[in-house]
Amino acid sequence: MSRIAYVNGRYCPHNGAAIHIEDRGYQFADAVYEVCGIRDGKMLDEEAHLNRLDWSLGELEIPWPMTRSALQVTMREVIRRNRVRHGMIYLQVSRGRARRAHSYSAHMNPALVITATSTPRPQNAQVLPQPVSVITQPDIRWQRVDIKTVALLPNSMARHAADNVGCREAWLINAEGKVTEGSSSNAWIVDQQNRVRTHPTNGRILNGTVRQALIRLAKQEGIEVSEIAFTPQEAYEAKEAFLTSSNALVQPINQIDGHKIGNASQNEISQQLWRAYYIENQIAP
Ligand code: PDD
């Protein structure tokens, strides 16, 4: 089945889908995006994604390309046309097309692109996937990473460094020696006091939608969450480590910079959080 993309008001074959060469997203990374997971044909954390899109657009003074409800209808149509049951939807809003100039007019027509991709479904969705390894890399990004822009070159370079050594993700270390987040995911540990730790949302991380859900669910489960940044050393000594994103959802980690995490730990707390997320979203087993 050939894939269909939505581009500025039209559904078109994915292969020929195109944006103008003077789109500011292309020339200035003047664009924001969302990636939303799809399970059993339904979008996960849809409201949180739209709220964050609203935040990103607002911070950059890019107008919504259509109303929120029209966007929701269009996203569902892209999922339907691509027959995605398990996978993700990508949407990008750029400030639009203009003759190249650094400054911009506040009255441009934003460009909207939406695609949907199927990914393989795990055999047993109730249990966490196999653990993966991560490395650490310096966080060389700009200071507004709370806005979900497409300016992802530092993230891309960090992930490439991880790929080169056979690791799944790179955890980024800031100038204070703390782990901020992964190149495309939030970073978590369970410390020796059984506290779940993740970096606070002080503008130095992207406030992940799965992150928001897990913090809420942890409270319901009686698990202590402490939004206090941790060092790589604390991560090496953690009982559990995991990452979250709309692609991976909850992904356990068993090695950081070559240090084994937990001693054959059963990832009990990560598993409990995953179970709560899985149940809340009515994901099929
Ligand atoms: N990335 N931090 C960064 C830098 C990210 O790029 C992402 C998501 C997250 C997690 O956010 P969420 O839980 O809302 O997916 C945190 C997406 C998946 C991407 O760029 O493909």
Residue having the nearest C-alpha atom to atom 6 of ligand 1: 184
Which of 42, 148, 219, 260 is labelled catalytic?
A: 148
Whether 148 is catalytic: yes
Q: What are phi and psi of 70, to 5 degrees?
A: -65, -35
Q: What is the pLDDT of residue 107?
A: 87
CATH of domain 4-118: 3.30.470.10
Report pLDDT digits (tens) over 223-268. Answer: 999 999 999 999 999 999 999 999 999 999 999 999 999 865 679 9
Could you give the residue range(s) of every CATH 3.30.470.10 domain in the chain?
4-118
Let me know: does 45 contact 213? Beta carbons within 8 Å.
yes
Let me know: does 270 contact 252? Beta carbons within 8 Å.
yes
Average pLDDT in the 114-135 region?
Answer: 95
- Average of per-residue pLDDT values in the chain: 96
Cα-based distances in Å from 205 to 142, 174, 185 = 11, 11, 10
**What are the helix and strand counts (H, E) for the chain?**
7, 15
Structure token digits, residue 78: 């892209």
Q: Which of 201, 246, 247 to mutate to test the pocket of ligand 1 (most atoms within 8 A of CB)?
A: 246
- Match 């202590």 to its residue by tokens: 224
Residue percentage of the chain with pLDDT more than 70: 99
Return the closest-CA partner of residue 173 out of 199, 192, 202, 149: 199
Residue percentage of the chain with pLDDT more than 90: 95
Q: With the C-alpha atoms ordered 225, 155, 109, 99, is the resulting torsion angle positive or negative? A: positive
Report pLDDT digits (tens) over 132-178. Answer: 999 999 999 999 999 999 999 999 999 999 999 999 999 999 999 99
Q: How far is the CA of 99 from the centre of ligand 1 (A)?
A: 31
Q: What is the pLDDT of residue 265?
A: 66
Please give, one letter per residue, the 3-state secondary structure of 141-173.
CCCCCCCCECCCHHHHHHHHHHHHCCCCEEEEE
Residue 63 carries which DSSP code?
P
Q: How far is the CA of 185 from the centre of ligand 1 (A)?
A: 5
Q: What is the pLDDT of residue 2?
A: 87
CATH of domain 132-280: 3.20.10.10
Q: With the C-alpha atoms ordered 72, 74, 75, 81, is the resulting torsion angle positive or negative? A: positive
| Other CB atoms within 10 A of residue 250 CB | 23
Residue 216 neighbours by CB under 8 Å, 6+ apart: none
Q: How far is the CA of 210 from the centre of ligand 1 (A)?
A: 9
Q: Which runs of E-coded beta strand occur in 131-268?
A: 132-138, 169-173, 179-182, 186-190, 196-198, 225-226, 240-245, 249-256, 259-260
Which atom of ligand 1 is closest in space to residue 33's alpha carbon? 20
Return the closest-CA partner of residue 244 out of 280, 265, 268, 215: 215
Residues in the chain: 285
Could you give the residue range(s) of every CATH 3.20.10.10 domain in the chain?
132-280
